[in-house]
Structure 1
Amino acid sequence: MTDFNSSSFQPAMFHLTGFPGQEAVYHCIAVLFMLLYITAIVGNCLVLCIVWADRHLHQPMYWFLCMLSVNDLGMSLSTLPTVMGTFCFHFTAVTFNACLAQMFFIHSFSFMESGILLAMSFDRFVAICNPLRYAAILTHTRILKIGLAIVIKSTSMLFPFPFLIKRLPICKSNVLSHAYCLHPDMMRLACADTTVNNIYGLLAILVTYGLDSLFIILSYIKILMTVLNIVSHEQRLTALNTCVSHICAVLPFYVPIIAVSVLHRFGKNAPLLVHILMSYVYLFVPPVLNPIVYSVKMKEIRKRIFRVFSRDKM
């Protein structure tokens, strides 16, 4: 019997779901998630330590990379308690307010990642299209302001979400579809009109992911036009190579988001497992891939990682 608060028609507890029907292999799934968390946390911490320790890397491009790493750590730590609790200990209960808090942090870090990727595309735009003024435009003060603006914008956009959920009477069920709390998943349990939630959720997505992705595309169109005007083939390749890491970070972030949105609105008949897997990809792939991509593609980071491990061997 679902445990509801009689005064507000809200459940005292939500129950999380891992992979329905796969409970027998949860220990194997737990090992996989543990490896993903370790890779994400160690990789992003390594990037932060390398940039912090080397004064030669105290440049705009690396400061934005540090923002991305901090954000990825936040995303990983937001999902870790409930995901590992579900798959390691079969502990699926989470209080209503704790679920609201986790929902707020997961969506906030997701919105912030989009803003940081936009800032990184602006960094590449200035570096390639206006290299002589690069240092003058992207000063430390301006980078700090950009970071604060991303945080304020993301958290302010997400601030109404918990209140929009809290006003709804939730009486259909208290079982969520994932091992963590998301706004659409909590909203579907309401037995009242969710038009306001749907409209505001769509508005927040368009203002954040929609505008950010549009400006990223426009910046790369301008970058491509500038690169094509470079006479030297070698310089052209060098300029494009500086953008490859960023493109490799943008695609794993936006492609799953688009896929999840399309499935949520048009894939009602798709198997439940597909919805669950795409949601996990959307939350887990970017924090794992970003430090790997940047460590492989950025020569300065790669050299310092090799130096750290060569010291350990000595």
Structure 2
Amino acid sequence: MTTTSPIVNPHVIPAEQADTGRLLLSCSDQPGIVAAVTETLTSLGANITDLDQFSENADGGAFFQRTVFHLPGLSAAMPELKATLDERIGKRFDAKWRLTNASDRKRVAIFVSKTDHCLLDLLWRQRRGEINMDISMVVGNHPDLADAAQSFGVPFIHVPVGGDKREAEARHLELLRGNVDLVVLARYMQIISDDFLAEVGVPLINIHHSFLPAFVGANPYKKAKERGVKLIGATAHYVTKDLDEGPIIDQGVVRVSHRESSAELSRHGSYVERAVLSRAVQWHCDDRVMRHGNATVVF
């Protein structure tokens, strides 16, 4: 196991996030939801700064809403705010809802193997303050990327995965429990077991090197070259027990031609993978993604 102490670099809360709350809710569409949310928040002294909503069908379809508001002393007001929202919104509309403080940065663990482009992009964006997250650790089943993580002051933990993955996953759970809010699989070339997903208690986001399900498995760019593809794509999705079939958060493509080699296709793929994964992680950390069955609503 290789570790290093993180560089102490206190984060300054951006002015637009101080005392800013985010309310996400979903329920069956019905009259009065938006009015009830706005009335409840304003009655407690909140000023709504952004509101977005989506309805599948006005006649009882699924309804989704994301509301951003400013409330002085938000942290102290959270218990009263949650109790009031549960009474006036949750129970009244039989709604599922989630309230977060925008200044609470998501704690993220990144799982890697040997490929570094997605990891380096996320580390760089954290350093630049482009994603509202703190990378708590990088966990690798190979030691190859230890220097990359440590150069950003992030602890690297090497957890080899042998024939029996249960031992490695038990170590993973030991590292993650109570320490992270999100796990990102940044080209982590191991299958996640159903038992691990049931135990981990936080969402997992994976980046897949194609528009699912095309060219799955090893050597995707060699297969793409052999098929003469004209688009290279990538898909970021939540991880479920159904391999590579979880709710999709974001996708992207770049156009290519017959002139490009498989190595050039791989470089294009690395670019789109970085962009798609970073967007997905940023949207999750900004509380913009709501899951709906095996799909997502992204505000």
With the length of structure 2 as denominator, give the TM-score of the two structures. 0.24
The structure whose residues are more often strand, as a share, is 2
The structure whose residues are more often helix, as a share, is 1
With the length of structure 1 as denominator, give the TM-score of the two structures. 0.23
